[in-house]
Structure 1
Amino acid sequence: MSGLEKPAVQWTFVAIAFALIVVVMLSGVALTRMRAAMDTARADAMQARVDREQIEAAFQRERSARESLALQLGRERGGATGGAAGPPTLTLSPVRAKSPKGPELAVPRTSAPLIVLRLLLPAKAPADASYEVRLRSWTTGDLLWLRSGLRAGTADGKAAVIAPIASDVFAPGPYELIVNTIGSSPLPIAVYEVSFIEHRQ
């Protein structure tokens, strides 16, 4: 007579089987809840990203409107004063590599509402391309400003991307500007670095 024919042994196997079934059921419930939580977290993350993109787009539109208004006011004031000087310009040359200790060029902040960026282009830059300029924090890499659809102009007799920007974008600190082409095959063109410091009287 085998041990499996004893009632105690049989009930032991029944109890083990029942326990395994309960464990499997509980694991399934936990897995379902985990998947639901992951789906909820993923949906929340996607919504947060959409909200952030909408806020950034609205912020960029507001800055563009302020820059256009400041540029128009500068033109009107220039005409009213018989051709007074326009907004200050900032001319930058490309850097070959990111500086390990921060930008070497430091300029004082201006009280003018607008600055005209003049980013000199390297020789490889296509003359007929459409460009975008990205302003990022040199320290964190956060995108602070973006302007696209720009065409190459000239500055000091050299090819350059010229873009007006509200001066309040530049709080004291180091910055990195990146110029890329836009279109079906975008290309990185050049990187620029500059630090803004408080103007001392």
Structure 2
Amino acid sequence: MKLKLISLFIVYCFTGFSQNTEKLKANMQALYEANYLMDFETIAQYSYPDMVVKIGKDTFLQQTEQHYENEQYRLRYQLQNVPIQLGQTKQVNGKSFCVITIRIPKRYFFETKLTTEQAVEKKTWLQEINHTKDVTFEPNRNSFNVKKMSTFVAVFDETTNGEWKFFNFDNPEQWEAFKTMFDEKVKTTLGLNK
């Protein structure tokens, strides 16, 4: 009888963990696709709710749109599906966190034709903001191909209504919001002290 109860507990724990991991993957894939399609409302829906409230939903939507389209360039994800690497789920202060990394190929299309000097400047700038050396200028398309590892953090807590919600650290505003919303213990545990 004792062995049967232990077996049931193990199956229950594994099933719950497996479902939770599958839900995390599904939500992350939906968020990635929303970024690929530039569906800003869906991006807001999958983002950490307290962050969206803190920034203000209208401001959040404007900042997200500016991240993808502004007077200087248009940013696009190049692939609709990419492998998503989930880190280990960690519990800190009663909340669940998971660091997710994705190698995302992006393309920045510049609105004005770049001179050789401007292209060199933009390449350096793109390397800095994307934290990668893998930036290639394509003069015929007046664009840069950027390959980088992007970091997202998933959070599951009392504010997320039983769903995983996300921070996208490619957006400086979201990284800043994360730093102000969670303490050093969270950042240290997740290896995010940068």
Same fold flag (TM > 0.5): no
Question: Which structure has more helix as a fraction of its residues?
Answer: 2
Question: Which structure has more strand as a fraction of its residues?
Answer: 1
TM-score by length of 1: 0.31
Q: Which has the larger radius of gyration?
A: 1
TM-score by length of 2: 0.32
